[in-house]
Amino acid sequence: MLVATLVFYGAYSLPQKVAATILVLLIPFQPVETRFFSANVLATYAVFIALLLRGSQIRLPMLPQILIVLFFYLLSFALVAPSTYVQHAVYIVALISAFMVFWIVYDLTVSSDSPRRVVNILLIVNIIVAIYCFIQLGMGAKTKLVFFGNQDFAFMPMRRDNRLTGPFGAAGVTAEYFVIMIYLVLHEIIATTRTAFRRGLMLLLGINMLLLITTGNRGGFLTMLGASLIFIWLFRKTLGPRRIIGIVSGGAVLLVLTASVAINYTDFGKLFDRLADTEIEEGIPDTRQDLWPSAWKEIKRKPMLGHGPRLRFDGGDEGRRYKGHQFMRYPHNLYLFLTLTVGYLGLMAFMVFLFTPLIRCWRVSRLETSDAYLQGLAKTGLVIMIILLIDQMKVSFMRLSMVDYWHFIFAILGLFIGVCDRARASIRNPAVAVSPDVLQDTGGRLSHARNQ
């Protein structure tokens, strides 16, 4: 609470863009986690409320979709056992913080001179995450690094089977994070005209590939390969045959090099062994053959509104029990997880929320806008949304323990909704979407969108 108070004072005193930038930079790193909330959840509320109190005009895109999602979460919450009210309420409070991140990043995207500002912030975060992961790889699975003698300031523990977990604490979502960033970095490589910056981005691209391999996550790796076909198809006119051949061949060489480094110089190169050992029975991977059928059995018990917003909070084997609450394992599938927690109705509401950015990115990718950078980002957003929707078939990022990853995903959604709105505005008024290169050449400055 002391930290939240200081953050509130800072957010109230600092310029809006500065406060939003700091919040985004801290997303993967939650130094203090209490019984109820992490420091970043409280910081998000503090920043959002401070911006409102100081009179900032925070736009609230997709408000109807978000309110419908919250309605079904509250409806499910109303039907849980009274002994579990606090646990489920904690989940809803954290979920609202994720929507706040979505709005804050959206506002930063549409109010900045260029969405490149937000992309650059995410690239900086990517670099910090990579440094974190290299330190974690250096420590190995048996070492735990703790600062100040306080467990709240410890590095996330590694998996015992030598798989990178990163700051998010789970190999699956960490792999998904690197896949998303690979395509965001790839877009910036295509879009930039600065040679030195492009070389730095190519190095970051290789680092993301290397770290993806060290997670040992088969689904994330296969999703990355499949998404490359979609990315090339969407950018086929922009790139042309020669650049496509260069990107494909360069990507293949980079993949071979990073795989060789992971296999020969680290203890975290088991991805390809895991791929070779993969078994699928009746359409279910070997690691999900017990989880998915058991999830279906529980869904049938409460199909429409689910078992409550939060799942598996009693630890099961720790002897702690809540009257009226049944311990259930995570299904490691977003769609099963949502159906288990908020039922079919909640699942449909959440899918409407997730498909809205995908549909808007698809529409903008087909428009003729005055800014190629905006249209390229919309196409990249379409690829990333497809990655998210496919990859979540084997993980469920909406577990409360992954609230930091919620904030990242919702920040990405805020970026792409903002990009789509700027692109559509550029059709009505080309001055709104003046590219950063034009601004640099002319010395001009884009007026704030709300002042047009």
Question: What pLDDT score does 53 carry?
Answer: 85
Helix orientation angle between 63-77 and 334-365, rounded to the nearest 10 degrees: 170
Rounded Cα gap, residues 176 and 191, in angstroms = 23
One-letter-per-residue 3-state SS of 18-34: HHHHHHHHCCCCCCCEC
Q: What is the pTM of this model?
A: 0.89
- Among 65-79, 286-300, 435-449, the least confident range: 435-449
Rounded Cα gap, residues 335 and 111, in angstroms = 34
284 strand-pairing partners: 281
Residue 257 predicted with pLDDT over 50: yes
Are the C-beta atoms of 425 and 433 separated by less than 8 Å? yes
Rounded Cα gap, residues 86 and 346, in angstroms = 20
What stretches of 140-235 show up as alpha helix (H) in DSSP?
Answer: 171-191, 195-214, 218-234
What stretches of 14-115 show up as alpha helix (H) in DSSP?
Answer: 16-25, 39-53, 63-77, 85-111
- Among 136-145, 224-233, 371-380, 395-404, the least confident range: 136-145
As a whole number, mean pLDDT of residues 318-332 equals 75
Kindly state the tokens that stand for 219.
Answer: 């689904």
- Which residue type occupies 250? G
Q: Shortest CA distance to 344 belongs to which of 392, 307, 370?
A: 307
Kindly state the tokens that stand for 37.
Answer: 């909330």
Q: What sign does the dihedral 133-177-424-191 (CA atoms) show?
A: positive
Kindly state the tokens that stand for 115.
Answer: 């969405």
pLDDT band at 140 (very low <50, low <70, confident <90, very high): low
Reduced to 3 states, what is the DSSP secondary structure of residue 38? strand
